[in-house]
């Protein structure tokens, strides 16, 4: 559905990279939503964000944690659309603090679902990760469980609230991105630090991610896991792209530390057992649920081939492709 000017939006984890960019996009609409609610724990980031957007009259800042169901329920009063971006995302941190990751990523997801159903929210788009596919780390496992919870939320809502999921890869130059780490090393004339030169990842920009999330909100039926059509590269290709941006003529030999706890060499956006439920929509792939919550018969066409593989190991992005994407960031 299109978000109308008389409707309200709530973004959990709203002061994060995607939430910040989503707010910017919504405020630039000709007729922005009546209220855009930032729901997060960090009062300092909320203060700085309010200043950055000139204390826009459509912006609201709610302090709260997704672990707090009562606070979430109050925050979602008279809200029509929810974008759930709050999560503990750092793989090593989740490995060493598994219970905290479960509290935020799993129990928090369940709280969002319950609050949305109770308040009669129209639509919910939950953000997931490629690490939820065949997970080998705690973060990926929590995101897989969260995906399952959000999809099953359609069965509990009585068709009042509709839930879909967006699953995607790494966002270039987002907070904590390796791009910033590489830039800092190069500006200090130091070698970059990588875990393994053979590692590959999916890459896209924050603007691409925001537009995709809004497209999903507009086109979802309820119960789908949406996958963007994005490219991937080896980590050394990204290093070379950042070097080109920084005008580094001679790259120093990188320091290789070895794979960190819970890391994969390659990521996938689709598990083999999901292929038979995946359809090519042109602008995206959609994995349809095993249980049909709503009428999807008009969408069930253009199935992907049975041997379809969506892995970052395809490495279809060159240095120039990544440089182009990095140059578009902030424009």
pLDDT value at position 330? 58
pLDDT, average across residues 45-72: 97
pLDDT value at position 329? 80
Q: What is the pLDDT of residues 174-192, one digit of tens each?
A: 777 899 999 999 999 999 9
Tell me how far CA of residue 2 lies from CA of 20, 40, 77, 80, 295, in angstroms: 20, 25, 20, 11, 19
Q: Percent of the chain scored above 90 by pLDDT?
A: 87
**Whether residue 131 lies in the annotated active site:** yes
pLDDT of 208 > 80? The answer is: yes
Q: Is there a contact between 308 and 280 (Cβ–Cβ < 8 Å)?
A: no
pLDDT of 245 > 80? The answer is: yes
pLDDT, average across residues 22-47: 95
Q: What is the pLDDT of residues 214-224, one digit of tens each?
A: 999 999 999 99
CA 161 centroid distance within chain? 21
Superfamily of domain 8-169+204-230+268-309: NAD(P)-binding Rossmann-like Domain (3.40.50.720)
pLDDT of 331 > 60? The answer is: no
Q: Among 199, 196, 106, which residue's Cα sits nearest to residue 144?
A: 106
Q: What is the pLDDT of residues 294-328, one digit of tens each?
A: 877 767 778 999 999 999 999 999 999 999 999 98
Catalytic residue among 89, 131, 264, 325: 131
Q: What is the pLDDT of residues 71-81, one digit of tens each?
A: 999 999 999 99
pLDDT value at position 163? 97
pTM for the full predicted model = 0.94
Each domain of the chain, given as residue ranges in start order, spans: 8-169+204-230+268-309
pLDDT value at position 177? 80
Of the ranges 121-130, 172-181, 253-262, which is most confident?
Answer: 121-130
């Amino acid at each position: 559905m299109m978000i109308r000017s008389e409707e309200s939006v709530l973004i959990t984890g709203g002061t994060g990279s995607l939430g910040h960019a989503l707010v910017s996009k919504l405020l630039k609409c000709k007729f922005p939503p009546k209220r855009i609610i930032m729901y997060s724990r960090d009062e300092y980031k909320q203060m700085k964000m309010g200043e950055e957007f000139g204390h826009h009259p459509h912006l609201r800042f709610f302090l709260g944690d997704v672990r707090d169901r009562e606070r979430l329920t109050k925050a979602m009063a008279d809200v029509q659309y929810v974008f759930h971006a709050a999560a503990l995302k750092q793989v090593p941190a989740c490995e060493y603090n598994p219970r905290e990751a479960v509290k935020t990523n799993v129990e928090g997801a369940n709280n969002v679902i319950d609050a949305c159903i109770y308040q009669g929210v129209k639509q919910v788009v939950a953000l997931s990760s490629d690490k939820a596919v065949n997970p080998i780390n705690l973060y990926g496992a929590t995101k897989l469980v969260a995906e399952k919870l959000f999809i099953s939320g359609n069965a509990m809502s009585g068709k009042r609230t509709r839930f879909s999921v967006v699953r995607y890869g790494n966002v270039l130059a987002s907070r904590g991105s390796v791009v910033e780490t590489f830039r800092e090393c190069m500006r200090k004339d130091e070698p970059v630090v990588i875990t393994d030169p053979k590692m590959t990842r999916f890459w896209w920009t924050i603007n691409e991610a925001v537009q995709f999330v809004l497209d999903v909100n507009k086109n979802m039926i309820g119960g789908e896991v949406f996958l963007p059509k994005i490219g991937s590269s080896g980590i050394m290709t990204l290093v070379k792209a950042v070097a080109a941006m920084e005008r580094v003529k001679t790259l120093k030999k990188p320091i290789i530390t070895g794979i960190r706890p819970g890391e994969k060499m390659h990521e996938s956006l689709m598990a083999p057992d999901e292929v038979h439920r995946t359809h090519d929509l042109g602008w995206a792939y959609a994995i349809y649920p095993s249980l049909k919550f709503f009428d999807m018969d008009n969408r069930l066409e253009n199935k992907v081939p049975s041997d379809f593989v969506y892995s970052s190991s395809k490495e279809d992005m060159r240095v120039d492709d990544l440089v182009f994407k990095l140059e578009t960031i902030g424009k």
